[in-house]
Amino acid sequence: MEKKQASIVIADNVSVAEGQVSVTSAAYRRIPESLRNLDEDEVKALNGKVVRKVDLLVLPTIGILYILNYVDRQNLAAAKLQGIMEDLNMSTQQFATAISILFVGYLPFQIPSNLIITKVSRPGMYICFAVAIWGTISASTAAAKTYGQLLAVRAVLGAVEAAFFPGVIYYLSAWYTKKELGKRIAGLYIAQQVGNAFGGLFAAAILQLNGVHNIAGWQWLFIIEGSATVGIGVICACIMPEFPHNSRILSQLERDMAVWRIESEAGAAEGTENESALRGLKQALSDPKLLLLIVANMLSQTQGSIANFFPTLVASLNFNHTISLLLTAPPYVLAGAVYYVIMWYSDRRNTVYPIILICVAISIVMYIIPLTTMNVGGRYFSMMILPFASVGPQLLLYKTINLHLARPISKRAVASALVNAIGGTSNIWSSYLYYAPPHFYAAFGALMAAAVLLAVTITVYRWLVLRENKRLDSGDPDQIAKVIKGGVTEEMVQLNWRYEMY
């Protein structure tokens, strides 16, 4: 029986909107010789083997590091419940500044860091090196004796942590196709929720060391969690693979498959494109879709700021400090489960827009509850729901960024960092909203407004990308030229690429 060409079907790779890859297509012309003689079953088996290898090494490693990232970022909120404000003579306003100062260092360093990661051959080593450094800085927070020293440590901590999240999102998009990426981003956010959930439990346990060796409980918190981050970061540096084209965990045939999986979607993969970082920056800044995604992510991160003060919100229910920390865990466990369901559905149905609107609608209702009632059960119910409803759109936006602004590669790296960096500025000013418990009128009022504006912004974005698809479908060279000017490469046009999920 004659073998079917390997290019005809690639599992989890080619969607209906893009059309099947034929032997005359641009994707087929780029297929490595090593893959051309494989039949359909062999291609599927090889593709599955590559994905399984990457899943087993990349996802657990990044997940563990992201747990540490969030624990180290959020432990100041837990330290507040154990006397750091009294020991450092801080006011409520000063504590809000200590929270927000991290983002002053975090935001501007994301863009240069993501440009660097596109050019280094060992991105895993680069990320893990940053992890070990921030762990050291986090542990040194225990040595802070004044408010000014705390601010300095937090600002430096943010600058080093800037390498992690946008770098990891870019790194994942270098390995996974569009039908795989959503669930992997969900895995990253599930790890975040594990960090949030068990961070509170760990904090509750560590804070029991208060006074041991004349060291305050909040100091033990920074020492233990920061030291653990350093050790685990060093171990993970030995595990994280490189890019698909030079990965040591794959055979040559598997590397060819890993690269071609990505090339067949958008025309280029890491290691096969030589676009300069500066040109990628210019192309990102000239793309009108980027501005809308920045605004959408800023509004989404405004809602996500609730995580920075979640222990404070739970404490407003008038439980003691230990119980308050323990009660922060269930909402994040639920959020992790819902994130996976959301992204699984998004990948399976190739949709994003309606899911964002559903999350927005749910979050608006949940903001109203603490604004209008003192019922403890009702308020805690809203806190159970808010972590996934308020943060859920962020997962879908990051998936959108890495698929709609995919090429050139340097453009994707810059766009991912820009959206996260500028969007993250909301974490600075939103830190000053969480006052006047138990209703927190300013905070929940602002979050509700952000949710409404997010729905409006993402609807405008949907109109824009659907207009671009109509231009691509028209076959008119002048219309297609407009789309290319708006950020689509000629190779993507040859691949019958379309803006999907909206």
Secondary structure tally for the chain: helices H, strands E: 24, 0
First to last CA, the chain: 42
User: Is the pLDDT confidence value at 272 over 60?
Assistant: no
Average pLDDT over residues 251-271: 75
H or E element in which residue 399 lies: helix 376-404
Q: What is the pLDDT of residues 4-36, one digit of tens each?
A: 444 434 433 333 333 333 444 444 456 778 888
Count Cβ neighbours within 10 Å for each residue of 137-160 and write b for 16 or more, e otherwise: bbbbbbebeebeebbebbbbbbbb
List, in order, residues 6 or more apart from 372 with CB less than 8 Å away. Answer: none
pTM exceeding the 0.75 threshold for the entire prediction = no
- Cα 90–93–99 angle (5° rounding)? 85
List, in order, residues 6 or more apart from 313 with CB less than 8 Å away. Answer: 306, 370, 383, 434, 440
Q: Phi and psi (nearest 5°) for 31?
A: -65, 135
Query: Residue 464 corresponds to which tokens in the numbers above?
Result: 């824009």
Query: Can you give the residue ranges of every domain in the chain?
Result: 26-494
Query: Residue 31 corresponds to which tokens in the numbers above?
Result: 């297929």
Query: Residue 24 corresponds to which tokens in the numbers above?
Result: 């005359």
Q: Is 251 helix (H, G, I), strand (E, B) or coil?
A: coil
Query: Residue 89 corresponds to which tokens in the numbers above?
Result: 């003579």
Count Cβ neighbours within 10 Å for each residue of 170-192 and write b for 16 or more, e otherwise: bbbbbbbbbbbbbbbbbbbbbbb
Q: What is the pLDDT of residues 29-81, one digit of tens each?
A: 567 788 888 888 888 899 899 999 989 888 889 989 988 887 787 788 778 87
Dist. CA 294–CA 102, nearest whole Å: 20
pLDDT band at 429 (very low <50, low <70, confident <90, very high): confident
Dist. CA 195–CA 74, nearest whole Å: 9
Q: What is the pLDDT of residues 202-239, one digit of tens each?
A: 777 887 888 888 898 889 999 999 999 999 999 998 88
Instruction: Answer yes or no: are the C-beta atoms of 353 and 462 closer than 8 Å.
Output: yes
pLDDT band at 406 (very low <50, low <70, confident <90, very high): low
Instruction: Answer yes or no: are the C-beta atoms of 501 and 403 closer than 8 Å.
Output: yes
Q: Phi and psi (nearest 5°) for 9?
A: -135, 125
Taken in order 333, 337, 340, 341, is the CA torsion positive or negative? negative
Instruction: Answer yes or no: are the C-beta atoms of 301 and 454 closer than 8 Å.
Output: no
* Residue 214 burial class via C-beta count within 10 angstroms: exposed 0-12, middle 13-18, buried 19 and up: exposed
- What pLDDT score does 274 carry? 58
User: Is the pLDDT confidence value at 343 over 50?
Assistant: yes
Q: Which fold has domain 26-494?
A: Growth Hormone; Chain: A; (1.20.1250)
